[in-house]
Amino acid sequence: MNLLIPHSWLKEYLQTTASPHKITECLSLCSCSVEKIEQQAADSIYHIEITTNRVDMMSVLGIAREAAAILPQFGIKAKLINNPYKTSLKSKFKNSKSSPKLKVIIKDQKLCPRFTAVILKNTTIKPSPKLIQERLKKSGIRPINNIVDLSNYLMRAFGQPVHTFDYDKIANKTMILRPSRKGEKIITLDKKTLELPGGDIVIEDGSKRLIDLCGIMGGLNSAIDPKTKNILLFIQTYRPENIRKTSMALAQRTEAAQLFEKNTDPELVMPTIIEGIKLAEKIASAQPDKQIIDIYPKPYKPETIKVSTDLINKRLGIAISISKIKTILESLNFGIKQSANSNQQLVISPPSFRSHDIKIPEDIVEEVARIYGYYKLPSILPPLLDQPQKSKINFHWENNIKHMLKDWGLTEVYTYSFVSKELIEKFGLDPLDHLKLKNPLVKDWEYMRTCLIPSLLQVISDNQNTEKNLSIFEIANDYFPVKNDLPLEKSYLVIAFSGERFFELKGLAESLLGELKIAYEFKKYKDSKKRLNPQKAVDIYSDKNKLGFLGQLNPQLASKFNYKNQVYVAALDSNLLTTLATDKKTYHPIPKYPPIIEDLTFEYKKPLLYSEAVGLIRRTSSLVVKVELTSQYQNKKTFRIHYQDPNRSLTDKEISKTRKEVVKNLEFNGLKLVGKLD
């Protein structure tokens, strides 16, 4: 959050001789970042960036409080003055859970931990005094009238949103704070009609009209106007989760919402309303009611954090004395006691305005470090490990795979990790097995995919009119749901071809695995859902590891995508590929004795995979060193067989014996030799 704060206003709460530039330097070194100082007449305007966890600093008081703690670290005297937390309730005011003149009902106390209100009678609506108008203008706020300006002035001064209603417009003088019902509507001060999503914090009056969208903006029907005489000034805290949800759902990002959603301090509510009463008396001639409604069933109780000075010094890497640590924390309004068990153990109570961001000992360490000065801490690099750790993801091999496929004429595509319900069902998957997004941008990106193939099939479908033979690939993650945990991510390589190109795809897979030096074999395709045509598909294994599969998309499935040509896909586990890949080379000496090569043609009487046929031939004898498919026609295939022994020349008798064994093995498995053996 960015704030504009005039130096003249800051000095109302900060007593110091430090110049604006010195304050800027010290704050930027130890606390919030002062982006620049802007000069306006004789005043300096601080442009301050405040991190979201420090709601206590989002005000003039908050910056003054920080500066009062930091400036003494630089040898500059500074003191916080006019501290509203030390303002006591004047004797003329009485606390009351609910004034007889206003009935307040809170349906769920969790929604509103503290609610205060007071009636201001006989107010005069007029322009604010010049000083208030100037301070608001310098803070980037437009003055309107004395009552509206009072609310904005207090919010910027203390960081506590303030609300004012026309008391006479509240039906039956009753306010009921409750969660909204889905579909309820309210017209806000800016004359917008908002339909509520439900669960929003609202206030209705005695006639059941919604008069306030709490923490966001008041209702138009209870707004202050020039004829207003009696005002209800009320200040409260809300459950931050509800305010954040409503603000984002309705796109209403008011400054009040930004403060409430970060957990404002309930202990600041009463000091702010007392200051509000004083200001209303001064600038609007208001006559405050003697009773201040204060509904606060669970008052703030400070929690304690135990931390040792050893821990602080160990985390910071230097030795800071216990007295210095205590001085720093006391300057930040922390309560400190020394443990009865150890002089080095401190029992620390954060102030109420820091109770939401100071929870653990490390938070205390951070507070000591920033006030002491990060710039004073020694800069020591951590020791290097003896050996560099190997990355779990081998980007080297993944990059090599991409370059190989690109060099072989394929185009890499990038698809979204999100898919539509239609695409999931089109591929025969169940949407219930997918992670569904709560807030998808469009219906096409509603689920996290569990299979990369449909994404590439859609790319083929979208581009088939411009290119007849498409060759694309992608390496990307699939996302599998895990109960009560983040999804399991698995990386896959998917290649997709359009056109009658089974052997081209198979050859591509063989070349890729060969370049990666991964031993592989093709086995019969097994898939209960039969997404590929079993007659033109194979599974790919490396030893017992299934690398993936390739083949023709099942024609019935292909018809759903309205393809003009056949489509072939290959899916490989890229994690396995990069794990099994190696750049180690094995030396094989050139054989001294030449091979004997012959072609044998077989007629297929029953289906047998090419890889199975090659396996049968290779396993016949150690003399068979290489088998190639040279041609095929209808159900006939010709195999070129290489016989060789590295230590001697083979005889015709040895070749004849091996040939007969080859023919016998293949005929036993449903193949028949075309022609006769010599």
User: Do 94-295 and 395-580 have matching folds?
Assistant: no
Task: Supply the pLDDT for residue 22.
Answer: 97
Cβ atoms of 526 and 539 closer than 8 Å: yes
Task: Supply the pLDDT for residue 101.
Answer: 87
Mean pLDDT of 65-80: 96
Provide the CATH number for the domain formed by 2-82 in this structure: 3.30.56.10
Q: Which residue has the higher pLDDT, 138 or 675?
A: 138
Task: Supply the pLDDT for residue 387.
Answer: 63
Q: Give percent above pLDDT 90 in the chain.
A: 77
Cβ atoms of 288 and 89 closer than 8 Å: no
pLDDT at residue 391 is higher than 60: no
SS3 label, residue 426: helix
SS3 label, residue 157: helix
Provide the CATH number for the domain formed by 596-673 in this structure: 3.30.70.380
C-alpha 418/C-alpha 426 separation (Å) is 15
Q: In the 3-class helix/strand/coil scheme, how is 549-564 assigned residue by residue?
A: EEEEECHHHHHHCCCC
Task: Supply the pLDDT for residue 584.
Answer: 85
- What residues are paired with 488 via a beta bridge? 480
Q: Which amino acid is at 570?
A: A
In this predicted model, what pLDDT tens digit does every residue of 341-383 receive, in sequence order?
777 899 999 999 999 999 999 999 999 999 999 989 888 877 7
86-100, 333-347, 594-608: the lowest-pLDDT one:
86-100
C-alpha 163/C-alpha 58 separation (Å) is 18
Closest CA to 31 of 70, 85, 61: 70
Task: Supply the pLDDT for residue 47.
Answer: 97
Task: Supply the pLDDT for residue 440.
Answer: 86
In whole numbers, what is the pLDDT of the chain averaged over residues?
92
DSSP string computed for 9-33:
HHTTTEEE---HHHHHHHHHHHSSE
In this predicted model, what pLDDT tens digit does every residue of 620-651 receive, in sequence order?
999 999 999 899 888 899 999 999 998 899 99
Query: What is the pLDDT confidence band of residue 530, given thresholds at 50, 70 and 90?
Result: confident
Cβ atoms of 413 and 389 closer than 8 Å: no
Query: What is the pLDDT confidence band of residue 589, given thresholds at 50, 70 and 90?
Result: confident
pLDDT at residue 5 is higher than 90: yes
Cβ atoms of 149 and 128 closer than 8 Å: yes
Token code pair at residue 55: 């709601």
Neighbours of 13 (CB within 10 A): 23
CATH 3.40.190.80 is the classification of domain 306-374: no
Cβ atoms of 417 and 477 closer than 8 Å: yes
C-alpha 442/C-alpha 560 separation (Å) is 22
Give the helix/strand (H/E) hosting 459.
helix 453-463
Cβ atoms of 230 and 168 closer than 8 Å: yes
Architecture of domain 395-580: 2-Layer Sandwich (3.30)
pLDDT at residue 392 is higher than 60: no
Task: Supply the pLDDT for residue 88.
Answer: 60
C-alpha 256/C-alpha 668 separation (Å) is 85
Mean pLDDT of 81-97: 73
Task: Supply the pLDDT for residue 90.
Answer: 53
In this predicted model, what pLDDT tens digit does every residue of 121-148 receive, in sequence order?
999 999 999 999 999 999 999 999 999 9
Sketch the domain layout of the chain as residue ranges: 2-82, 94-295, 306-374, 395-580, 596-673
Query: What is the pLDDT confidence band of residue 564, given thresholds at 50, 70 and 90?
Result: confident
In this predicted model, what pLDDT tens digit does every residue of 418-432 receive, in sequence order?
999 999 999 989 999
Largest CA distance in the chain: 125
Cβ atoms of 141 and 152 closer than 8 Å: yes
Task: Supply the pLDDT for residue 94.
Answer: 66
pLDDT at residue 443 is higher than 90: no
CATH 3.50.40.10 is the classification of domain 94-295: yes
Q: Which amino acid is at 387?
A: Q
Mean pLDDT of 224-244: 95
pLDDT at residue 91 is higher than 60: no
Cβ atoms of 453 and 413 closer than 8 Å: no
Token code pair at residue 90: 């004047």
C-alpha 105/C-alpha 114 separation (Å) is 12
Q: Give percent above pLDDT 70 in the chain.
A: 96
Cβ atoms of 537 and 549 closer than 8 Å: yes
In this predicted model, what pLDDT tens digit does every residue of 470-486 receive, in sequence order?
999 999 999 999 988 88
